[in-house]
Amino acid sequence: MTTALVWFRQDLRLADNPALRAAIDNCDQVLPVFIDDPADQSVSQVGAASRVWLHNSLHSLNESLQERGNQLLVVQGQAEALLLQLAEHYKVTQVFWNRCYDPVAIKRDKKIKTSLAAYQPRSFNALLNAEPFNTLKADGTPYRVYTPYWRMRCSSLPGEKPLAAPRNIPAPTKKAPVFCTDAPACIERLGLLPARSWPELMMSHWQVGEKAALKNLRTFLKNAVDFYHDERDIPATAGTSRMSPHLHFGEISPRQIMHLLMPDNTNVEKLSRGAETFAKEVIWREFAYTLLYHFPHTLQKPLDKRFDQFPWASGYTKNLRAWQQGQTGVPIVDAGMRELYATGWMHNRVRMVVASYLIKNLLIPWQKGEQWFRETLVDADLASNAMGWQWAAGSGADAAPYFRVFNPVLQGEKFDKQGDYVKRWVPELHSVEPKFIHKPWELPSDIRCSLDYPEPLVDLKASRVRALAAFEQIKVRTK
């Protein structure tokens, strides 16, 4: 009897899982393994909100495996050592996994492939529709602007047909007494949940797992995708797909999404405006991974080297904390930050607004915002998160120009006209009329004083002028 070890990571699903399919096709038995490696405290370590999602997603994956006659072996420790130990104990013939693309994972996986050479390790692409090293310009260099990247990708969409979920996954006959064999208990022992009630509140907004991901996608494609182009900018409505955390944990693949969006290999040109916009967002994520793969330093450092010399504010701890807690005195910013803490997610339009406010109005380094999002987002995808923050800062590829400073008042008045979004997350302003909901500092003084809501940290106009002056300094220094 031959045995394959399948190492699950950002691919917590059974359908369209090439590593799992290869294991079933090549061996008689399959050992599904998930390793939580607490020693790895690099940027690839997931934050608190993502660990809560991971806890629930692992339970969901294990239930799916049990329905097919197997279960997930969940262990904690150093990945390389555990893989070797498991391979030896179970007399493993081959080891399979799906690739990750952050620099820490790439370096670790190369080392593991060498140390596990006796077990014929093989890796596959399950995270993306197309590999970053296969989507280059004609001159062999990576794209740094999204529009030509999108045009290049259009001709290859929707991509290869997704793999069906296996009906049966034969489990190893040999048990391992040195490891916990009760998967639910093992998942609990990982300690992914913090010791407070916040996870229950956050997860009440979500359904987790492969089945939920597919169900939610089908509902979105049936009811909302054709209106996505316009509705995606309105934070008070359910106009987005909310597929990002499912993609982040690999509960669904971009290939599955594209094939459901483009059945029978529909051309991009035949999609509705909303469907095409949604397709562009899925491929935008792949563009972010392309940048991460080719420019790994952009996780922590600006791609535009001029920003190495940017004169950020000093002594910003108090303002940073107020931003994190949704106490800036700017309603749409505070609404977004409170939505983030309560749900582990924030509407994309609002993400741009809160990022611009932190970077340009408060002059706080974008890395501080990226770190907070990585800690609090359930969809804290390394590539998309870093690219989004560098876009807001004006320091990344295809970035917004630095002099583009989002005015949170105008953004609120345009995309939250009646203040429904603000009133949901900032209940202190529930009685404020729409005219003042996004600028309560303009209320009559007697009404303003009766509100339990903070004064703005900074003047929006003055802080915008300060930000532009700071950018002029690095322009001068780098001439």
**Catalytic residue (choose from 7, 323, 345, 389):** 389
Active site residue 370: no
- Which one of 131, 188, 284, 441 is the catalytic residue? 284
Q: How far is CA 72 from CA 31, 57, 214, in A?
A: 8, 12, 21
DSSP 3-state assignment of 367?
Answer: helix
Q: For this structure, is 389 an active site residue? A: yes
| Tokens representing residue 276 in the block | 């095409």
> 339 an active-site residue?
no
Which residue bears the tokens 């089945």?
211
284 catalytic per annotation? yes
Catalytic annotation, pick one of 231, 281, 375, 413: 281
248 by Cβ neighbours in 10 Å (0-12 / 13-18 / 19+) ranks as: buried
Annotated catalytic residue, options 97, 206, 366, 391: 366
Q: What is the dihedral of CA 362, 337, 223, 212, to 10 degrees?
A: 130
296, 301, 308: which is closest to 383 by C-alpha? Answer: 296
Burial class for 5, CB neighbours closer than 10 Å (0-12, 13-18, 19+):
buried
For 299-315, give the DSSP string: GTS-SSGGGGG----SS
Catalytic residue among 63, 131, 188, 348: 348
Q: Is 210 a catalytic residue?
A: no
Which distant-in-sequence residues (6+ apart) come within 8 Å of 221 by Cβ?
A: 260, 261
CA pseudo-torsion sign 156, 265, 272, 350: negative
In angstroms, the CA 192 to CA 59 distance is 12
Does 348 participate in catalysis according to the annotation? yes
Which alpha helices (H) appear in 344-381, and where do they start and end? 348-356, 366-376
Distance in angstroms (rounded) separating the CA atoms of residues 368 and 389? 10
Catalytic residue among 80, 312, 375, 413: 312
Which residues, in sequence order, are bridge partners of residue 36? 76
Q: Which long-range contacts (CB under 8 A, 24 or more apart) does 363-372 make?
A: 363/311, 363/312, 363/313, 363/316, 363/463, 363/466, 363/467, 363/470, 364/312, 364/313, 364/316, 364/319, 364/320, 364/323, 365/310, 365/312, 366/390, 366/392, 366/393, 366/395, 367/300, 368/320, 372/324
Burial 364-374 (b: 16+ CB within 10 A, else e): bbbbbbbbbbb
**Tokens describing residue 286:** 């792949």
Catalytically annotated residues: 281, 284, 312, 348, 366, 389
